[in-house]
Amino acid sequence: MTIRRLTLEHVGPIERADVTFGDLTVLVGPQATGKSIFLQFLKLLVDAPRILGILQNHGIDWNRRLGDFLDVYLGEGMRGVWRDESSLRRDGRPVDLQKLVGTKRSSGTSAMFFIPAQRVLTLSRGWPRPFSDYSPGDPFVVRAFSETIRQLLERGLVNEIFPSPRLEDEVRRLLQENVFAAFGLQVDTSGLQKRLVLSGGGHQLPFMVWSAGQREFVPLLLGFHLLQSPTVRVHLPWVVIEEIEMGLHPRAISAVLLLVLELLSEGYRICLSTHSTHVLDVVWALRVFQERGASPDRLLELFDVAKTRKARAMASKVLEKKAKVYFFERGHTKDISNLDPGSDDAAESGWGGLSAFSGRVADIVARVVNETGG
């Protein structure tokens, strides 16, 4: 489904969120300002028939009541985000949410792959949990993501998870250095139940002894494996990744962003939510490169990767894409896509508040140095 613009009013903490999507759309802002709610409503608009069908097939009945549906879809207790004055508009046209969720349908395929912020919960026992393993009150996007990567593994659609021939050499190098160290990631079938293990040096490390960053990253990596399948790309034009930087060192974030740019070059429309200045550094650089007609090599230099023919082709395609950035503050959103450090708008110059503390630290340190005579 083509959606160019989505507007939510009076929905949960959102008084008004009006977002026009680019090829890459980035949402920034403090916690509890509605970024996740906004993205889940986007998912609902894109994939309503499929979502309703999955819920129906798992015996979940919301009795055609909007409040019950929101508790099932967004999570238990979330019915209160929709009030009498709430509204939803797609490309300027009102959407009747009650009508949208009032009919149970089982047809349709997903057009959006949603990687939620709570993705680490999907591997609580070292293997993705099935949809039915969750409570009916757990958010749909978590349950659906977990079920999708479970099927990916159990159907043998990916054999070697890391290092994998699906990953470009430079991406593998960055992940090896900054996430997996001397270990690989594989499916262990030696016991009575399959499990994911880190393997290296003759040892196998189960899920519970992985580092926090490894536990956060592996579900994300499995999602990228799925998206790199040519058959998937045909019917999954949209990708949402929440808090892409979660649990990762900045160098590992660079590797993940390189994977995102590969997906962008392949034609996916991507929405990210983030609290990382690292992400906006890249978006800002992209904007400057586009304005100045920079060579694709400059984009590759950001990530310190080899300038191969394939990498240059990817970078060239990325430089043709349009990026949008929106700041979610209390109640409202603001388009800060210019990311101009010299802007009079504090939200734009401070990149949605992400760089404000660093700027304050630098100012105060400089003041102390001046006051003490250098």
Higher pLDDT, 122 or 235: 122
Mean pLDDT of 241-255: 89
Position 158 pLDDT exceeds 80? no
Mean pLDDT of 208-231: 87
Task: State residue 317's pLDDT score.
Answer: 97
Task: State residue 326's pLDDT score.
Answer: 96
CA distances from 364 to 345, 358, 361, 371 (A): 21, 10, 5, 10
Cβ–Cβ < 8 Å for 11, 41? yes
DSSP string computed for 143-185: HHHHHHHHHHHHTTS-S--BS-TTS-HHHHHHHIIIIITT-EE
Task: State residue 1's pLDDT score.
Answer: 57
Mean pLDDT of 301-330: 93
The angle at the Cα of 114, spanning 3 to 347, to the nearest 5 degrees, equals 70
- Residue of 182, 186, 184 whose CA lies nearest to 194: 186
Cβ–Cβ < 8 Å for 226, 152? yes
Listed in sequence order, the DSSP H helices in the chain are: 35-57, 66-73, 97-102, 140-154, 169-175, 212-227, 230-235, 250-265, 277-292, 296-303, 309-318, 346-349, 356-371
Mean pLDDT of 84-112: 87
Q: Does domain 5-339 correspond to CATH entry 1.10.260?
A: no
Residue 228 CA from chain centroid, whole number: 15
Orientation angle between helical segments 296-303 and 277-292, nearest 10 degrees: 160
Position 306 pLDDT exceeds 70? yes
The three-state secondary structure class of 85 is strand
Task: State residue 126's pLDDT score.
Answer: 87
Under DSSP, the state recorded for 128 is P
- Residue of 72, 144, 63 whose CA lies nearest to 109: 144
Task: State residue 232's pLDDT score.
Answer: 58
Cβ–Cβ < 8 Å for 251, 179? no
Q: What residues does 87 pair with on adjacent strands?
A: 9
Q: Where are the domains of the chain?
A: 5-339
CA-based end-to-end distance of the chain: 60
Position 204 pLDDT exceeds 80? yes
Lowest mean pLDDT among 78-87, 134-143, 233-242: 233-242
Percent of the chain past pLDDT 90, that is, above it, reads: 59
User: Which pairs from 310-316 meet CB under 8 Å and 24+ separation?
Assistant: 310/168, 311/168, 311/170, 313/265, 314/261, 314/262, 314/265, 315/261, 315/265
**Could you tell me which residues come within 8 angstroms of residue 234 by beta carbon, excluding any fewer than 6 positions away?**
none
Residue 269, exposed/middle/buried by CB under 10 A (0-12, 13-18, 19+)? buried
> Which two structure tokens, joined as six digits, stand for 332?
């409202």
- Residue of 118, 99, 98, 108 whose CA lies nearest to 46: 108
pLDDT band per the 50, 70, 90 thresholds, residue 334: very high
Higher pLDDT, 151 or 2: 151
Position 365 pLDDT exceeds 70? no
Instruction: Report the chain's mean pLDDT, rounded to a whole number.
Output: 88
pLDDT band per the 50, 70, 90 thresholds, residue 237: confident
Position 130 pLDDT exceeds 70? yes
The three-state secondary structure class of 351 is coil
